[in-house]
Amino acid sequence: MSQGDEIPVQVEAMHGNVRPILNEVMHALDKLLEAGITTTIDLASLPFAPGELDELEATFGKGELSAKLDALGTSRIRETTYPGVWWIEHRNAHDEVVGRYLEVTRLPDILSSQDADIMAGRARLGEQFE
Amino acid sequence: MKYTPTVGEILQAKGVSRRGFLKYCATTASLLALPPSMIPRIAEAIENARRPSVIWLSFQECTGCTESLTRSASPTVEGLIFDAISLDYHHTLQAAAGEQAEAARHAAMEENDGNYLVLVDGSIPMGNPGYSTIAGISNYDMLMDTVKGAAAVVAIGSCAAFGGLPGANPNPTGAVAVQDLVKDKPVINVPGCPPIPMVMTAVLTQFLTFGKIPDLDKHGRPLAFFGNTIHDRCYRRPFYEQGKFAESFDDEGAKAGWCLYKLGCKGPTTYNACATVKWNSGTSFPIESGHPCLGCSEPRFWDKGGFYQPLSTGHFGSGATVAGAAAAGVALGVVAAAAGRRRQNKFTKEA
């Protein structure tokens, strides 16, 4: 039996969604620089044609910094080749993508240590040494 | 009355970190088609929400809706939602049977009077009560008895929402939908054959998060998921605009991924989220696999002509409907995106 990728289907190329997103990101960068306003674009809400998401990811590329978060599955938080533009991908425990975002910010919130976790960690440390 | 923990307490007890919780909230906002700016509000609401009791009734159905939900291969986010509700009665999933099962249903109704959710899959036969009974109780009696103290009723799948296959011509059992019988409680229809699992869980999450039913369309469907047609959000729509159609399932047009309108696609008159939420963990949806949309989330879809008849020759809608759909959106997603933003803005203002 043939594997799915052996079936000779050639999908005609379309690039309807990539350019508007690049425009939106450009305006978001202006807002970040001028007023410090951050923007998040939820990529799951857009109707991408096959291949368009890969094209978008390739267009943004990989920048200087990337981080891996292990919480309810793995998340990858990566600055793109455009500083201030972050590609964020959340996966569940089965390594399936459950959310994909472009965040235009100086540092995504999820990278900062959270007060609730700091307090819980402080309590654990206290139990161990006090 | 027993203590009901908040969802925040449940997640904390499971060792979910704040970062993990924020990730969960971001995914939830995405599920509910809410703007990412709502994430802090969602976090606060979910943290303080109480675990609601859910009673799931299955009537004239094929168990496909339960299969869709329980076989969805993304257990972490959806699993958390089900950890956060108390599923007190479900024929297929519960261990109890017979009188014990019915006792569990009554106990849940008494303990949570006025606050529990009733989920129904399957239609209700009105021709003869003997067509479908559970523990000797007719579907009609069980439904009307159970919804008395409910906060809201969710009709899961096209059978519960619109009568579905049992209600198709000639409707031998006299099958009716939940909304035909329940008039004094909010009824949310989540149609589909089966419905998209994430849509089912998102409706529950919305209720859990905001304590109110979502905005609904004229058929009682949540606008967040049923506000656009499949055609509005279909990645093949530019081919429709260019007049490029597959004429058969194996011609050059089909191989090139052109529009399936002439092969009977009901996308232009079908409201659902398949084109964006997709199936099998976001892998694809029927049109992406080369098959026309059957229109399974629309009322009476079984009786609206052949699945492979183009809309213009079938009974699904008039030519004017289709022409209107084409004229409404010139570029892919333009109208849909604008409508989505309007809904997001409206929700943000209300919050």
Does B113 or B317 have the greater pLDDT score? Answer: B113
Q: Which CATH number fits domain A13-129: 3.40.50.720, 3.40.190.10, 3.30.1370.140, 1.10.10.60?
A: 3.30.1370.140
CA distance A17 to chain B (A): 8
Cβ separation of A72 and B23 shorter than 8 Å?
Answer: yes
Q: What's the confidence (pLDDT) of residue B72?
A: 56
Q: Is residue B304 part of a domain?
A: yes
Place of tokens 């879809």: B301
Q: What is the pLDDT of residues B50-89, one digit of tens each?
A: 777 889 999 999 999 888 877 654 444 445 555 666 777 8
Query: Are residue B220 and residue B261 in the same domain, yes or no?
Result: no
Mean pLDDT of chain A: 87
**Residue A87, SS3 per DSSP:** strand
Q: Is residue B268 part of a domain?
A: yes
Q: At A14, which helix (H) or strand (E)? A: none
Chain A residues near residue B240 by CB distance under 8 angstroms: none
Boundary of a domain, candidates B208, B225, B242: B225
- Cα(B120)–Cα(B140) distance, integer angstroms: 12
Domain tally, chain B: 2
**Residue B86, SS3 per DSSP:** strand
- Is a pLDDT exceeding 50 seen at residue A54? yes
Q: Is residue B1 part of a domain?
A: no
- Cα(A80)–Cα(B55) distance, integer angstroms: 47
Q: What is the pLDDT of residues B217-267, one digit of tens each?
A: 999 999 989 999 999 989 899 899 999 999 999 999 999 999 999 999 999
pTM above 0.90, yes or no: no
Query: Are residue B181 and residue B243 in the same domain, yes or no?
Result: no
Are B229 and B273 a contacting pair, CB within 8 Å? no
Boundary of a domain, candidates B197, B225, B253: B225
The reply to whether A115 touches chain B by the CB within 8 Å rule is yes
Q: What's the confidence (pLDDT) of residue A15?
A: 56
Q: Is residue B10 part of a domain?
A: no
Q: Is residue B42 part of a domain?
A: no
Q: What's the confidence (pLDDT) of residue B126?
A: 97
pLDDT band at B109 (very low <50, low <70, confident <90, very high): very high
Boundary of a domain, candidates B191, B225, B259: B225
Query: Are residue B192 and residue B286 in the same domain, yes or no?
Result: no
Query: Are residue B178 and residue B299 in the same domain, yes or no?
Result: no
Query: Are residue B160 and residue B71 in the same domain, yes or no?
Result: yes
Containing domain of residue B90, as a range?
Answer: 50-225
Interface predicted TM-score of the whole assembly (ipTM), two decimals: 0.79
Are B207 and B213 a contacting pair, CB within 8 Å? yes
Q: What's the confidence (pLDDT) of residue B81?
A: 54
Option in A48, A49, A98 nearest B77 (CB): A98
Chain B residues near residue A8 by CB distance under 8 angstroms: 255
Query: Are residue B66 and residue B191 in the same domain, yes or no?
Result: yes
Query: Are residue B325 and residue B221 in the same domain, yes or no?
Result: no
CATH code at B273?
4.10.480.10
Cβ separation of B19 and A90 shorter than 8 Å?
Answer: no
Q: Is residue B144 part of a domain?
A: yes
Query: Are residue B98 and residue B170 in the same domain, yes or no?
Result: yes
Place of tokens 């303080």: B48
- Is a pLDDT exceeding 50 seen at residue B320? no
Interchain CB contacts (distance < 8 Å): A and B? 114
String of DSSP letters for B277-321? H-BTTTTB-GGGGT-----TTSTTGGGSS-TTS-TTTSSSS-HHH
Burial string for B8-29 (b: 16+ CB within 10 Å, else e) reads beebbeeebbbbbbbbbbbbbb
- Is a pLDDT exceeding 90 seen at residue B212? no
- Is a pLDDT exceeding 70 seen at residue B24? yes
Please count the helices (runs of H) and the strands (runs of E) in chain B: 17, 9
Q: Is residue B12 part of a domain?
A: no
Cβ separation of B239 and A12 shorter than 8 Å?
Answer: yes
Tokens of A35: 């007023």
Q: What's the confidence (pLDDT) of residue B20?
A: 85
Phi, psi angle pair for A60, to nearest 5°? -80, -35
Query: Are residue B92 and residue B236 in the same domain, yes or no?
Result: no
Task: Give the mean model confidence (pLDDT) for residues A67-86.
Answer: 94
CATH code at B170?
3.40.50.700
Q: What's the confidence (pLDDT) of residue A4?
A: 56
- The residues in B 38-97 lying below 8 A from A, measured between CB atoms, are 73-77, 80
Q: Is residue B37 part of a domain?
A: no
Q: What's the confidence (pLDDT) of residue B248?
A: 96
Cβ separation of B20 and A8 shorter than 8 Å?
Answer: no
Q: What's the confidence (pLDDT) of residue A50?
A: 75
Task: Give the mean model confidence (pLDDT) for residues A5-34.
Answer: 79
Q: What is the pLDDT of residues B148-174, one digit of tens each?
A: 999 999 999 999 999 999 999 999 999
Distances in whole angstroms, Cα of residue A12 to Cα of each of B136, B212, B236, B283? 58, 44, 10, 19
Query: Are residue B320 and residue B302 in the same domain, yes or no?
Result: yes
Domain assignments of chain A as residue spans, ordered by start: 13-129
> Strand pairing of B150-156 and B116-121?
parallel
Query: Are residue B216 and residue B258 in the same domain, yes or no?
Result: no
Cβ separation of A44 and B239 shorter than 8 Å?
Answer: no
Query: Are residue B221 and residue B250 in the same domain, yes or no?
Result: no
Please tell me what DSSP assigns to residue B215.
Answer: P
Cβ separation of B26 and A101 shorter than 8 Å?
Answer: yes
